[in-house]
Amino acid sequence: MERLMFVMELHEGQIKEYEKRHEAVWPELLGDLWNAGWRNYSLFRRGTNVYAYAECHPTIAEALASIGNSDANRRWAEWFTEVISTLTDPEGNLIQANEVWHMNQETAQSAASAN
Q: For position 70, which CATH number holds?
A: 3.30.70.100
How many angstroms from the chain centroid is the CA of residue 100?
A: 17
- What is the model's pTM? 0.90
pLDDT at 9: 98
Of 7, 1, 3, the residue nearest 87 (C-alpha): 7
Split into its structural domains, the chain has a count of 1
Is residue 48 a contact partner of residue 12, using CB atoms and an 8 Å limit?
yes
Residue range 9-40, pLDDT digits in tens: 999 999 999 999 999 999 999 999 999 999 99
Domain of residue 109 covers 2-114
Query: Are residues 99 and 28 in contact, defined by beta-carbon separation less than 8 angstroms?
Result: no
Residues with pLDDT less than 50, the chain: none
